[in-house]
Amino acid sequence: MKMRLKLKSVFVLYFMVSLLGLIYALMQLGQRCDCTGHDIPKERVISRLRGELHRLQEQMRKSGEIQQPQKDPKSSLPTIFVITPTYARLVQKAELTRLSQTFLHVPQLHWIVVEDSNHKTPLVRDLLAKSGLTYTHLHVATAKERKLQEGDPNWLKPRGVEQRNEALHWLRQETHKQQGVVYFADDDNTYSLQLFEEMRNTQRVSVWPVGLVGGMKYEKPVVEGGKVVRFHTGWRPSRPFPMDMAGFAVSLKLVLANPDSWFDGMAPMGFLESSFLQGLVTMDQLEPKADDCSLVLVWHTRTEKPKMKREEALQAQGLGSDPHMEV
């Protein structure tokens, strides 16, 4: 009898301890695992990670196809339509890559990429498909006589005119009754994330400083009493809107309400922005952002053309790099 009792109590004790332990383990579910203490075999980790990666890549691919991954119908955030003209050159893929990495952080962003080309190139097509962004891929070739030739200075002919207009045309065809704002983002500039939140609630046209432009550390609208009264710029301040393309955003409503507002490729140098904005807004109506235009949130950076002298020398000998390797 004594023996049986002893065994029974041991059993009961063992059962209780196990039960408590099980409850503890169940409570640990959902907590972050401190797996450094565990000896998890590397192969198992690798295969799990591969599975996870594959799953996430599939998600991204699917969202790229549908082109509306972030468009939550219940989202009340106005969409930022970013229009980027682009053209094929050595640094194109690098520029678009780092741009897409910036844009991935911005919610409700729709990237409209317009190639200066008479067809959609595989490089841009694949980059956009893998980017994870909501995008529209357009193309229009600049007329030959309006194109910058090798050796022309940058300011000789305005760039991206036809491409920006093509994007405006698309917006006017495809978007209606949508809350949004339109921003012209060239592919070699640098954008902070704060900039996009500043522009999101633009009612008409909002403006802010731009760094490293016009021969100066920055250009900016001058704000007094919450209104723009003039522009701080090093060059031709008498222009109607002496600003860089990166220094303003236009509400989608205004773009759609003014179907005849376009960029004028024949405008004199430096007047491209004014040619578009003149029909849309007066200086008085501009909305200053970035803390009454006291913060630089965007920089007019430019990328050097990479030196290719050894590549050219090798190509002359028929020993150039593999053209199939996409750069």
Partner 1 sequence: MKMLRKGYVAVVLVIPLGWIFVHQVWPSSHIWVPVLIQGDQTRGHGHSAILPPIYVITPTYQRPMQKAELTRLTNTFLHVANLHWIVVEDSQTKTPLVSRLLQESGLNHTHLNVMSPRNIDRRSIRGLSQRNLGLQWLRSTFNVRNPNPGVVYFADDDNTYSLELFDEMRWTQKVSVWPVAFAGSLRYESIKVNAKGKVYGWEVAYAPERPFGIDMAGFAVNLQLLLSKPNANFKLHPGLQEGSLLLDLVTLDDLEPKADNCTKVLVWHTRSQAPDLSGEARFKHSANLET
Task: Count the neighbouring beta carbons within 10 Å of the beta carbon of residue 106.
Answer: 18
Which region holds residue 184: left if phi is over 0, alpha if psi is between -120 and 50, else beta?
beta
273 catalytic residue (yes or no): yes
Stretch that binds partner 1, among 95-103, 164-172, 251-259, 278-286 (CB under 8 A): 95-103
Considering only 104, 156, 257, 269, the residue that binds partner 1 (CB under 8 A) is: 104
Site string for partner 1, 222-241 (x = CB under 8 A): ----------x-xx------
- Near partner 1 in 145-204, by CB under 8 A: 190-193
Which contiguous run of DSSP H or E holds residue 129? helix 122-131
- CB 225 to partner 1: min, Å: 16
Nearest CA-CA partner of 101 in 6, 191, 4 = 191
Do 210 and 246 contact (CB within 8 A), yes or no? yes
In angstroms, what CA-CA distances link 102 with 98, 213, 265?
Answer: 7, 21, 29
Considering only 98, 120, 137, 239, the residue that binds partner 1 (CB under 8 A) is: 98
- CB 172 to partner 1: min, Å: 29
Of the two residues 122 and 177, which places its CB atom closer to partner 1 in the complex? 122
- CB 119 to partner 1: min, Å: 23
Stretch that binds partner 1, among 111-119, 137-145, 260-268, 303-311 (CB under 8 A): 303-311
- CB 231 to partner 1: min, Å: 12
Stretch that binds partner 1, among 52-60, 112-120, 263-271, 278-286 (CB under 8 A): 52-60
Listing DSSP states for 22-67 in one string gives: HHHHHHHTTSPP-GGGS---HHHHHHHHHHHHHHHHHHHHHHHHHT
Of the two residues 176 and 307, which places its CB atom closer to partner 1 in the complex? 307
Question: What is the distance of C-alpha 255 from the center of its chain?
Answer: 20
- CB 154 to partner 1: min, Å: 10
Spell out the residues 6+ positions from residue 70 whose beta carbon is closer than 8 angstroms to its own: 107, 108, 109, 134
- CB 253 to partner 1: min, Å: 25
Do 138 and 168 contact (CB within 8 A), yes or no? no
Stretch that binds partner 1, among 167-175, 245-253, 273-281, 289-297 (CB under 8 A): 289-297
Of the two residues 175 and 192, which places its CB atom closer to partner 1 in the complex? 192
Residue with tokens 């222009």: 239
Spell out the residues 6+ positions from residue 49 whose beta carbon is closer than 8 angstroms to its own: none
Of the residues 273, 287, 311, 312, only one is catalytic, namely: 273
36 vs 322: CA distance, rounded Å? 44
- Near partner 1 in 53-72, by CB under 8 A: 53, 56, 60
19 vs 15: CA distance, rounded Å? 6
Pairing of strands 248-251, 205-207: antiparallel
Considering only 159, 164, 200, 220, the residue that binds partner 1 (CB under 8 A) is: 220
Considering only 31, 76, 149, 238, the residue that binds partner 1 (CB under 8 A) is: 31
Considering only 123, 136, 262, 299, the residue that binds partner 1 (CB under 8 A) is: 299
Considering only 212, 228, 254, 255, the residue that binds partner 1 (CB under 8 A) is: 212
Of the two residues 257 and 313, which places its CB atom closer to partner 1 in the complex? 313
41 vs 52: CA distance, rounded Å? 17
- CB 204 to partner 1: min, Å: 24
Which residues are catalytically annotated? 273
